Every structure is written in C-alpha cells, then in structure tokens.
C-alpha cells in the first residue's frame, strides 16, 4: 500500500474537519428535558449552566420536544437555571460534572410568575443514567487527602476494581493491568494528549507526572468506553490539570520522610541488621488565578524531590581458598561437600552417555585455571562477615546509598477568545536523576558496574474549542511529548585487555566497559549497559460534536506520529556466564545440588557468553491513524444507547536508514546445498524490491462499541455493553527493530556439544571480529550464531469485552454497584525479546537422549566461519533443529498471547458529604493466559493456565473522615478561636488493601538450554502442595517441596506453567493520614499532616524460591512490601 497516499488521506480528513489538533475530549456535557408538572414538553425554554468557580456561562434553548444539551462544559460545580414565559424560574445548585461525564438533568417548571424561583439541591449520589462505560472517578477530595507515597498520582489506579500489577516507581513505569489484559496496555492521557511512550523493549512508560495539587480531574476508563478512545486494550487513565479561576488559589507544601520513624523489614530484624538510613524531602507549590478576569486564567506548578536512600547489601563472594582453586571446604545446604568435576576429562561412557572425573582433593590445579578469570576474581572484595555456617553464602556486607533528584514544573494558560471560542495551552518539564554510590571498596568499584541515570521529559498540549451553535461544536487538541534517557556506566573506558583478554576486545563493542562475569550462586561483576534514548509522540485529533434531537453524535480523526531514537550498548566488552553444568558430574548431563560450582567453572574459564557490536543504533517511526463515530441516543428519559465504531490503523514502522529486517522462516537458503532442507533467514527492508516497512500492514481493525443505560427506577440503573478494542501494535516504532546485520553478536563457543570445553575464557573469540555487514549478506546474515527478527505478519492485538451491572442508590449520597466484567484479549505480545525460540529442537527428537550430543560432521564447515558451526564437527542435536544454520532464532514482539478474564465486581461509593467519603470495592476474578515464556516454543497454548497476574480476591477501600468537632461542625460549633485551634480541624484518611497471592511457577534446572528450550518446568506428583498454618513457621518450607522433582535428562517437566492452588503470600496493607487544619487568617489555612504507609506494619512475604534444584527451594527469604514508613507534611493553602 502507498503510505504517502495514506498520509495525504489523513490530512484531507483533517482539512475537511477544519482543524488540526489532538487530544481526547476532556470536558463534560449536561443533557435533559424541560417539561411541566404534567409531563408536557416545554419548547423554547432558556437553559443556562454557570460554573461557580470561573463564572463562565453556557446557554442553550430547548427544542420542540423540550430537549436541551450543554456541551463541552469544564469539569466542576454548576448552577443550572431554566426559564420560560408563564412558568416560574427553575434553579438547581451544586451539580457536579466530572471528567468525561455525560450527565442527565431534567427540569420541571411550574406554572407561575417568572420572578418566582424554585430552588432544588442537586443529588450527589453519582447515579449514571446516560453512559454505559465502566469507569472510576477520583475526585479532588481523594486526590489531595489520601496518603500517596512519593506523591505519585498514578498510584490512585490501585483503587480501581480490576487492577493488578504495580504502578512501579515514581517517574516512568506503566506496569499495571486493568481487567485482565497484560501489563503495559493501559493508555495514559494528560489534558487529552497521550503521556505514555513505547520503551526500547516494547513496554510502556509515562512521561508526564502532574503534581497532586495541580490535578483538576482524574478518571480511569476501564471498559466499554466511547469510540473516541482507542489504541488501548487495557483501559485509560485520564488526567486533567486544573484551570485557573477568578480568584487566586495556591498551595505551598513540603513533605519530609526519614528512616528514624520507619520500621525495619522482617528479615533484617531476624538477622539483627539495622535499618538503612533514608532521607527524602519533597516540596513545591501550585498557584492558579486570573490574568484577565472572566477571560484568561493560569496555573503554575512546581515540585522537587531530593532523596538519599542508604542501603545495606549482603552478597556472596568467593573465599580466599576458592580464589586459589581450593573447594575442599565448599559445602551444599545439606552439609555435603560440593564435588568439582574436571570438564576437560569428559568422554563417552562405555555404559552409555558421558562421564567425567572429579578433581583430586576437590582442588583445581593452577595450570588449568584461566588467567583472565584469576584477574577478574581479584576484583571481588574479600569476605568481611561470617556467612552461612554451612554454605558460607552471604559473606560480604556493605553500606551504600543512591541519590535521587527530580525537578518538575508545569504551566497552563486558559483563554476565552469570545463566547464561542476557548483555547488553552500546557507545558510540562521534568528531570529525574539517580546516582548510586559504590558498595565495593574504591579499588574494586570499577567492577561493580553502576549506572548513573538521567531522564528528561517534556510535554506540550494545545486545545481549541469552537462552538458553532448550541447544537454543534468542534473540539481540537495538538500534543507533543519527548522523553530522553541518558544512562551512563561508571566503568566506561575500562580496557578488557587489563584482565588479560585479547586487546581486540577493547574497542570491538564501541563503548569499552568492565566485562560482565556472572558465576552461578555468586554476586556478579560488571555491567555493560549504556543508553541514550529519545521517545517522541506528535499527537493530533479533531472531533465534531452535533446534537440532533435525542442523538448526540461525535465524529473525529485521531492521529499520532511516534518516533524512537535508540542508541545502546550491551555486552560491549563481553558478557560471560558460568553455570554449574561444566563442573558437575560424573554424568555431565545430570544436575545435582552437590556437584558443580559457578565460581569453579569461572576459574576454569568454561561458560557461555557473547560480545555484541553495535547493539542498538536505530531511529524508527510509525503512524497511528484512526477515525471514529459515536452516537449517544437517548431513546426515552429512561433508556440511552451508546453506539460507536472506530477504525484503528497502526502503520508498520520504518527505520531512517533502513537498518532493519524481518525473519522469514520459508525463504530459500543457499545453505540448502550443504544440508538439504535448510531454509529461513533474515530479509532486509528497502533492498531487492522489499518495502521499507518491516511488517505487512494489518488493515482489519474495525472496533464496534455498544452500550446501554436503563433507569429502571429513579434509584436503579442497569448498564451493559460490549466492545472490541485494539491495543498498541507491535508494528509501531520501538527501540528493538531487528538489528542483525547492523549488529553483530559474537558468541563465545566454549563447547560444541554443551559438555566438552572448546574455546576458553582466555581467548573466547579466536576468529576475531568483523564489522557489521549491513544487508550485504542477505539471508546468510548471522548464520552460525543467534539472531532476532520481527515476524512479517504480526497482527494488531485486540480485546473482546462485555459487561453488565446494576447501580443502586442507597442514600442521597451513596450508590452500590454490582457488575460482571469479561475480557478476552487476543493476539497480545507473547514475546518481546525471548521466551520463545523458533530454533528449538522438536520435542519428539528428545527421544534420542544422549545421542543428541554425538559429534558428527558439520555440513556447514568452511561456509560458516563464526560461532559453533565454524568447526569441522557439530552435535547431532544442532542439525535436528528447525533452522540448523543458527544457534538460536528469537522472534521479536511475537503476537499470540491470549487472556481470559472474568470478574464479579462490587463497588460502594459514598460521595463526600457531611465530612465523610467512602469508596470501596471487592473483586472476585479468574484470569487465564498462555504466558510469555514457554517450555515448548512450538506449542505455547500448552501453557494456557491460570495467569501469573491472577488475583482471585481483592478488596480496596479508601476513606476520608473529618471529625465533627470545631467551628461549623456538630460538636463545638461555637468554640472560640483557640479552642477550635486545638480541637477542631482534625481528619483521618486512608487506603486499605486486602489481596490474595498470585500463582507460582515451579521450575527446574534447564538441562535443555543448549537445545534452545527457554524454560523447563518441574515434575509434579499432582498432589496439592500447599501447606496450612502460620506462615512465620513455614518460611523454610512454604509448600511441600517433596511433591516436585527435576525431570529426567532429555524430558520436559509435566507440571503446568502456574499452579492455581499454590500461590505467593497475599497483601494486607493500610495507609493512613492524620490531618490537622488551622484557619490562620481569613483566606489562609495551614495543614499539618502525618502519613503512615503500611501503618500496621503487616508483612507481605515475598515469593518462595521456586527452582527445584536450588538449595533454598521452597524457602521465603524476602519481604515483598515495604515495612511501615512515616512522613510528615506541611501545607499552606490560600
């Protein structure tokens, strides 16, 4: 398809709509019918809504059926007046309109004189009679009073029924899920513009973090939202900054937290380790007001954070004896000596299989030790504490700290051009910096591999609203956001040759750093990472809203240009891992808890690893184009239908210099001349007649929406609906775009069969390094090693959703809601960079057993000059793989993930009234999916089971309570100033969360990794392994470990991906805040706050060790939640 034509077509649509702008509608609307006491419609009545904060008036005239519509009202509190000749004037005060709310309010006019006014107090229950969307609004009272650690506004998503996952840290994580979709599929809008961005690995980040005190409206759209919303299959977090008003308002705040009042975690107390010191100071202010009264308003906001988090770290480092090759005092957890076997003695066993010899005295001779390994191990600090009495683990202790700084500011200007036109602009700027201090002694710090990180986020949104008449308006948004990552390695410039590695490694990867050494069971050395990334989104929307009779139509166009510039290095000086497999025995294919050592394998210089040249260096972009039509049809005053359709198109990404490709499993390979049936390879874009686009475009993305709201009685409303929604496509711009050919991954071929040494660490890449060939090698690119590639036909992920709920008014300010919510997500990202390997050995061939290791003639010898296939012989298993010319074939952003979510959701919402607000929800849910990492890459649906993020039971309650004591309250309403100063103005607020644990996966030692099996599940006897009783007494045996075992060699485990009846510990947490507010002078209030997070210090124990071969299998050694933390705050409000 001609994409230039597509761009021009999109531009034409914009021109027809007369505006160029982006964003989702952030206003509200008020619809209703004017009639007399007998129910007869009153046509021609004048209807007016006045915003009590800004004084803005919006007027309309009722049609012949008495119907009126007030469109694009700024969220806030309104007074509605209705008048008509011959009737008394109707006035209703206190109508609260929230973000995206489409409210209904009928007016009854009584016959009388116009001068008479009938006043009615608004109903504050929140009963929704016109919309079917499943959503939750977080009002301003909750925003500014509920305790939020680090003042992260996105933590409020945890209050939403159907939430799972984590809101991450306080600056850029979008790792949560709503109603069962996978993490990262939730969109975030700020002032109608997208605030999210695609990260380099296909996840999603958040670039705009409004200060809590700068937020005007906050709503989470969970399901069945209007057609104007798209590119999300997991809900929308919609945030709007405050607008200024005719009066100046402001807030100055400072929050201080330090460890002097915090509790220590459970295991530190158990091991008598002191609480690390922590200091945080978070301060800033918000000011709003008029520039020109009734015309121009402003908001200024700034927030800064200065934090020093001290930390104590326990690590396992090699002992003096182990550094010299002496393992005669190295014991397993069972007290038995860990025997070290000599991999250089590996040979065929006359009885079948293979065998190797143990080292005499369990001591490695000096002449067999790697010179590189000996120098690298010297960078380990010496043990400085007594480790485990048996294993000597955790024998090093150090104190360190991480300094974190954030500086953010925002400015928003709102301006009324005339009665028909309004504009606004908002600019946000945020800096985040993090710098860890070393835990190793100064002389060894270069080997620690620390990263200094800096993030710069900027966002701009411009909005324009044109009211054509009282029935039609055009709403526009234009947005731009840019997030920049700079992550610098503290060992940058270190020369690998210092350790004795060949000097060709010094510059091979382009950014020399201390190499990575990762011996199993020990703390690793080094970190190869460096990163410079820029993520940009240009966003555009234009929509026309038109009211015709009982119909409210909205038609519009939504477009985004997404760009990702990614420059990263990884494994630039080598990444070397050392497992126990090369030093286990006597059968090298059999894992055992009492044979083999990672540090012994390192000393011998036998492991696995690679060195990557030009890891990531790309500039990709893609377009998102959508058109939508929505019709909200109020059939009767009781029944409203919400009908919509949207067409979504995520265009395939392109790379600025065509530095990308895709994997074609069926393309003819020249290597079929050497080995019959060889096929598959990388196909490069922009050459040999190929399009510049990495994927075939998915054009089949029509998304219908249907919903209804039926007011069965004045106090009961039934909502329901069904929708298809499309999420962000894996085809869009991202940092991982298929770099092979422009990246060279040089594999350390330490063995040709996985058990016998070949090239050692002292010269891991004897054939040297070659410059990346680009597209020159065609389908022969990367042969002999691992490749990654996009899959040409990758569809857009989507979800089929439906729901039914009943909303009931209990009291004037309280509603209860009972809902059934279902979600069937399809074609979700199953694999981003791993989890599935197309070059896995077919399961049926495992029946060959140890013969898979047989050495046979290599048909690719001479033709392939790098990697394990550069030798004259190879293993039988290698040639039985689907693509024997590669060591591994990893698909990028593979689509195929399926999720099945069903939930019963109960909500109680008591709006703030008479000093009390309560919002509570309980969710009973089931969530199944087929995971992301699979035991058999060719049968992912075999892993369809309970999801790793399945939360069966979850209860969340937030509450705000002003004690009824003091001036203006039930008790002490006539107190003196000083009496009120002491006794009045107190309030207690909190959030309580009770949640069941998530399912566990029991894994085994992956003895099939050399055959490209990505994971191996443990065998089970299918008994219920869960144990009952006090968890404190089960920390060393959380479940019955005897029910699981390591699968036999060359077999898969028979266990499921996750166990429904075996779950991690659940959560019981309460965050509390205690306020004292004092009226200092007429317009100045002072607020003192004490906030406690996990106030009752309930421990949520971490997941147990779930690897069946680990010495700590079944043991819980960590705390998942934070112990109690206390912070104090001071606010000045005027």
Per-residue model confidence as pLDDT tens digits over 35-89? 887 778 888 888 998 888 877 888 888 887 888 888 888 888 888 899 888 788 8
Task: Specify the pLDDT at position 833.
Answer: 64
Question: Which residue's structure tokens are 């520039």?
Answer: 291
Instruction: Decide: 337 and 330 in contact? Cβ < 8 Å.
Output: yes
In the chain, pLDDT over 90 holds for what percent of residues?
Answer: 64
For the cut 80, the answer to whether the pLDDT of residue 372 exceeds it is yes
Residue of higher predicted confidence among 17 and 786: 786
Indicate if the pLDDT at residue 5 is higher than 50.
no
Q: How is residue 279 written in tokens?
A: 């200091």
Which residues, other chains included, contact 539 with Cβ-Cβ below 8 Å and sequence gap of 6+? 22, 23, 193, 194, 477, 478, 479, 480, 481, 559, 560, 561
Q: Could you give phi then psi for residue 1129, rounded to 5 degrees?
A: -135, 155
Q: Is the pLDDT of residue 640 over 60?
A: yes
The two tokens of residue 207 are 């670039």
DSSP state of 520: T
- 17 band by pLDDT with thresholds 50, 70 and 90: very low
pLDDT tier, 7 (very low <50, low <70, confident <90, very high otherwise): very low
Report the distance separating Cα 300 and Cα 530, nearest Å: 35
- How confident is the model at residue 116, as a pLDDT? 55
First-to-last CA distance in the chain? 59
| The predicted structure's pLDDT at residue 4 | 39
User: Which tokens sit at 923?
Assistant: 């969710």
* Contact present, 957 and 1070 (Cβ < 8 Å): no
C-alpha 465: how far from its chain's center?
33
- Tens-digit pLDDT profile for residues 600-609: 999 999 999 9
Residue 921 has pLDDT above 80, yes or no: yes
Q: Is the dihedral of CA 682, 688, 693, 698 positive or negative?
A: negative
Residues 993-1017: what's their mean pLDDT? 94
Q: Domain 3-121 classified CATH 2.60.120.200?
A: no
Per-residue pLDDT at 723 exceeds 70: yes
Q: Where are the beta strands (DSSP E) in 656-699?
A: 661-668, 679-684
What contacts 2, CB < 8 A, 6 or more positions away? none
948-975 residue pLDDT tens? 999 999 999 999 999 999 888 888 888 8
Cα separations in angstroms, 216 against 240, 412, 501, 1083: 6, 12, 59, 20
Contact 909, 962 (CB under 8 A): no
Q: For residues 920 and 918, what is the distance between their CA atoms, to the nearest angstrom?
A: 6
Would you state the pLDDT for residue 451? 87
Comparing CA positions, the residue from 28, 122, 31, 33 lying closest to residue 84 is 33
Where residue 626 falls among pLDDT bands split at 50, 70, 90? very high
Name the least confident of 275-284, 394-403, 827-836: 827-836
303-312 pLDDT per residue, tens = 999 999 887 7
Least confident of 412-421, 507-516, 638-647, 873-882: 507-516
Q: Residues 90-145: pLDDT tens digits?
A: 888 888 887 777 788 888 888 775 555 555 555 556 788 889 998 888 888 888 99
When pLDDT is cut at 50, 70 and 90, the band that residue 338 belongs to is very high
Q: Rounded to whole angstroms, what are the CA distances from 613 to 347, 715, 765, 868? A: 35, 67, 13, 18
pLDDT band at 241 (very low <50, low <70, confident <90, very high): very high
pLDDT at site 138: 86
Query: Of 156, 147, 193, which is closest to residue 176 (Cα–Cα)?
Result: 156
pLDDT exceeds 80 at position 489: yes
Instruction: Give mean pLDDT, residues 461-474.
Output: 92
| pLDDT score of 196 more than 60 | yes
Cite the beta strand spans of 1041-1083 per DSSP E.
1044-1045, 1059-1063, 1067-1081
**Confidence bin at 29 (pLDDT 50/70/90):** confident
Full 3-state SS string of 282-334: EEEEEEEEEEECCCEEEEEEEEEEEEEEEEEEEECCCCHHHHCCECCCCECCC
CA 1116 – CA 862 distance, rounded (Å):
52
Report the C-alpha dihedral over residues 115, 121, 127, 130, rounded to 10 degrees.
10
Q: Which of 686, 651, 656 is nearest to 9 (CA)?
A: 651
Q: What are phi and psi of 442, to 5 degrees?
A: -55, -40
- Tell whether the model's pLDDT for residue 172 goes beyond 90: no
Residue pair 682/663 in contact (Cβ under 8 Å)? The answer is yes
Q: Name residue, tokens 């790792």.
A: 175
348, 472 contact by CB (below 8 A): no
- The mean predicted confidence, pLDDT, of the chain is 89
pLDDT of residue 25: 60
Q: What pLDDT shows up at residue 19? A: 38
Please give the pLDDT value at position 604.
Answer: 97
Q: Are 730 and 829 in contact (CB under 8 A)?
A: yes
Phi, psi for residue 981 in degrees, rounded to 5 = -60, -35
- Whether residue 582 contacts residue 607, with contact meaning beta carbons closer than 8 Å, is answered with yes
Burial of 944 (0-12, 13-18, 19+ CB in 10 A): middle
What is the per-residue pLDDT for 282? Answer: 97
pLDDT, one tens digit per residue, over 764-799 is 999 888 788 899 999 999 999 889 899 999 999 999
The mean pLDDT value for 573-580 works out to 93
Torsion sign over Cα 832, 835, 839, 844: negative
What is residue 1090's three-state secondary structure? strand
Asked if 185 and 174 count as a contact pair (C-beta separation under 8 A), the reply is no
Q: Pick the more confident residue, 173 or 1099.
A: 1099
Q: Are 533 and 200 within 8 A, CB to CB?
A: yes
Question: What residue spans in the chain does CATH classification 2.60.40.10 cover?
Answer: 3-121
Please give the share of the chain, as a percent, with pLDDT higher than 70: 95
**What is the average pLDDT across 139-167?**
88
Task: Give 284-301 pLDDT, tens digit per residue.
Answer: 999 999 999 999 999 999
What's the rounded Cα separation, in Å, for the pair 784 and 297? Answer: 65
Q: What is the pLDDT of residue 312?
A: 74
List, for residues 525-568, the tens digit of each pLDDT value.
998 778 888 999 999 989 999 999 899 999 999 999 999 998 88
CB atoms within 10 A of CB 1054: 13
**Token pair for residue 195?**
């605030």
pLDDT digits (tens, 9 = 90+) for 584-599: 999 998 888 899 999 9
Which of the 8 DSSP states describes residue 1107? B
DSSP of 920-975 = EEEEEEEEEE--SS-SSTT-GGGG-EE-TT--SEEEEEEEEEE-SBSTTSSBSTT-
- pLDDT at position 14 over 50: no
pTM of the full structure: 0.85
- The pLDDT of residue 42: 85
pLDDT of residue 483: 92
Joined together, the tokens standing for residue 1067 give 């959560």
How far apart (Å, rounded) are the C-alpha atoms in residues 555 and 714? 32
User: Cβ of 1129: how many Cβ atoms within 10 Å?
Assistant: 20
- Tell me, rounded to whole angstroms, the distance of Cα 1058 from its chain centroid: 21
44 vs 368, higher pLDDT: 368
The pLDDT of 930-941, averaged and rounded, is 89
């Amino acid at each position: 398809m001609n994409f230039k034509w597509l761009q021009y077509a999109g531009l034409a649509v914009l021109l027809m709509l007369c505006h160029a702008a982006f964003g989702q509608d952030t206003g509200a609307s008020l619809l209703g019918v004017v009639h007399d006491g007998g129910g007869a419609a009153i046509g021609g009545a004048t209807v007016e809504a006045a915003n009590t904060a800004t004084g803005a008036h919006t007027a309309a005239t009722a049609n012949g059926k008495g119907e009126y519509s007030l469109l694009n009202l700024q969220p806030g509190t309104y007074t509605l007046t209705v008048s008509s000749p011959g009737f008394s004037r109707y006035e209703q005060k206190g109508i609260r309109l929230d973000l995206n709310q489409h409210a209904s309010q009928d007016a009854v006019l009584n016959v009388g004189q116009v001068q008479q006014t009938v006043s009615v107090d608004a109903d504050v229950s929140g009963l929704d009679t016109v919309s079917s969307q499943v959503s939750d609004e977080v009002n301003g009272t909750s925003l500014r009073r509920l305790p939020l650690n680090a003042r992260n506004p996105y933590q409020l998503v945890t209050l939403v029924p159907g939430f799972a996952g984590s809101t991450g840290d306080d600056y850029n994580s979008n790792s949560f899920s709503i109603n069962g979709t996978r993490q990262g599929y939730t969109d975030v809008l700020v002032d109608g513009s997208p605030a999210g961005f695609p990260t380099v690995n296909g996840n999603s980040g958040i670039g705009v973090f409004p200060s809590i005190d700068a937020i005007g409206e906050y709503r989470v759209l969970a399901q069945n939202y209007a057609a104007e919303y798209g590119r999300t299959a997991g809900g929308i977090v919609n945030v709007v900054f405050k607008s200024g008003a005719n009066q100046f308002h402001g807030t100055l705040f400072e929050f201080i937290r330090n460890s002097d009042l915090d509790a220590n975690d459970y295991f530190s107390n158990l091991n008598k380790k002191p609480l690390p010191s922590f200091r945080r100071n978070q301060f800033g202010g918000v000011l709003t007001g008029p520039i020109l009264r009734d015309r121009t308003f402003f908001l200024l906001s700034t927030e800064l954070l200065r934090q020093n988090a001290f930390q104590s770290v326990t690590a396992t480092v090699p002992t003096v004896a182990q550094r010299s090759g002496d393992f005669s005092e190295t014991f397993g957890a069972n007290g038995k000596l860990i025997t070290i076997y000599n991999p250089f003695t590996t040979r065929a066993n006359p009885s079948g299989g293979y065998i190797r010899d143990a080292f005499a005295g369990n001591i490695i001779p000096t002449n067999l030790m790697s010179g590189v390994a000996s120098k690298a191990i010297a960078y380990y600090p010496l043990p400085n504490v007594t480790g485990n009495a048996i294993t000597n683990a955790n024998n090093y202790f150090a104190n360190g700290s991480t300094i974190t700084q954030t500086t953010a500011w925002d400015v928003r200007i709102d301006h009324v051009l005339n009665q028909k036109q309004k504009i606004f602009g908002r600019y946000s700027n945020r800096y985040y910096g993090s710098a860890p201090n070393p835990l190793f002694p100064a002389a060894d710090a270069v080997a620690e591999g620390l990263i200094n990180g800096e993030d710069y986020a900027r966002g701009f949104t411009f909005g324009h609203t044109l009211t054509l008449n009282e029935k039609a308006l055009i709403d526009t948004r234009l947005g731009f956001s840019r997030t920049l990552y700079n992550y610098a390695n503290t060992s940058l410039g270190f020369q690998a040759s210092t350790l004795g590695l060949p000097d060709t490694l010094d510059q091979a990867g382009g950014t020399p750093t201390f190499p990575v050494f990762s011996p199993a069971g020990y703390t690793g050395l080094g970190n190869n990472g460096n990163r410079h990334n820029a993520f940009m989104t240009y966003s555009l929307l234009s929509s026309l809203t038109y009211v015709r009779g009982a119909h409210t139509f909205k038609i519009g166009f939504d477009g985004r240009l997404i760009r990702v510039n990614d420059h990263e290095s990884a494994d630039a000086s080598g990444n070397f891992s050392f497992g126990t497999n090369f030093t286990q025995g006597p059968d090298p294919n059999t894992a055992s808890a009492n044979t083999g050592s990672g540090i012994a394998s390192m000393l011998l210089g036998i492991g696995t690893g690679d060195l990557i040249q030009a890891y990531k260096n790309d500039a990709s972009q893609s377009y998102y184009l959508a058109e939508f039509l929505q019709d909200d049809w109020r059939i009767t005053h009781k029944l409203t239908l919400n009908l919509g359709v949207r067409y979504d198109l995520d265009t395939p990404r392109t790379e600025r210099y065509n530095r990308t490709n895709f994997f074609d499993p069926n393309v003819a390979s020249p290597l079929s001349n050497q080995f019959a049936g060889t096929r598959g390879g990388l196909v490069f874009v922009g050459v040999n007649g190929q399009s510049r686009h990495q994927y075939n475009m998915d054009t089949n993305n029509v998304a219908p929406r249907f919903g209804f709201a039926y007011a069965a009685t004045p106090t009961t409303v039934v909502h329901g609906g069904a929708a298809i929604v499309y999420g962000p496509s894996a085809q869009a711009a991202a940092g991982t775009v298929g770099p092979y050919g422009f990246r060279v991954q040089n594999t350390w071929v330490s063995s040709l069969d996985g058990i016998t040494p070949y090239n050692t660490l002292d010269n891991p890449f004897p054939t040297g390094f070659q410059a990346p060939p680009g597209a020159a090698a065609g389908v022969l690119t990367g042969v002999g090693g691992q490749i990654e590639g996009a899959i040409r036909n990758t569809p857009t992920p989507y979800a089929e959703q439906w729901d039914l709920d009943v909303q009931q008014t209990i009291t004037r300010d309280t509603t209860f809601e009972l809902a059934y919510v279902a979600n069937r997500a399809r074609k979700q990202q199953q694999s981003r960079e791993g989890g599935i390997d197309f070059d896995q050995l077919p399961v049926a061939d495992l029946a060959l057993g140890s013969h898979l290791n047989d050495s046979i003639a290599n048909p690719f010898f001479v033709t392939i000059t790098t990697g394990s296939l550069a030798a004259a012989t190879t293993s039988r298993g290698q040639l039985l793989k689907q693509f024997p010319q590669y060591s591994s074939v990893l698909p990028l952003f593979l689509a195929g993930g399926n999720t099945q979510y069903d939930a019963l959701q109960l909500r109680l919402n008591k709006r703030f009234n008479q000093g009390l607000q309560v919002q509570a929800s309980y969710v009973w849910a089931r969530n199944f999916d087929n995971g992301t990492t699979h035991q058999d890459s060719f049968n992912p649906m075999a892993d369809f089971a309970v999801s790793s993020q399945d939360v069966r039971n979850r209860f969340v309650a937030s509450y705000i309570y002003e004690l009824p004591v003091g001036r203006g309250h039930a008790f002490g309403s006539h107190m003196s100033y000083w009496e009120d100063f002491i006794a009045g103005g107190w309030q207690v607020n909190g959030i309580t969360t009770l949640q069941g644990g998530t399912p566990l996966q029991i894994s085994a030692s992956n003895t099939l990794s050399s055959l490209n099996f990505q994971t191996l599940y443990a065998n089970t006897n299918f008994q219920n392994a869960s144990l009952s009783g006090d968890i404190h007494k089960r920390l060393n045996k959380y479940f019955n470990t005897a029910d699981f075992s390591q699968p036999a060699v060359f077999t898969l485990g028979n266990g499921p991906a996750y166990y429904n009846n075996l779950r991690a510990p659940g959560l019981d947490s309460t965050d509390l805040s205690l306020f004292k507010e004092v009226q200092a002078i007429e317009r100045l209030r002072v607020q003192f706050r004490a906030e406690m997070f996990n106030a009752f210090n309930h421990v949520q124990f971490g997941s147990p060790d779930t690897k069946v071969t680990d010495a700590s299998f079944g043991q819980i050694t960590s705390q998942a939640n934070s112990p109690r933390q206390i912070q104090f705050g001071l606010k000045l409000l005027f």
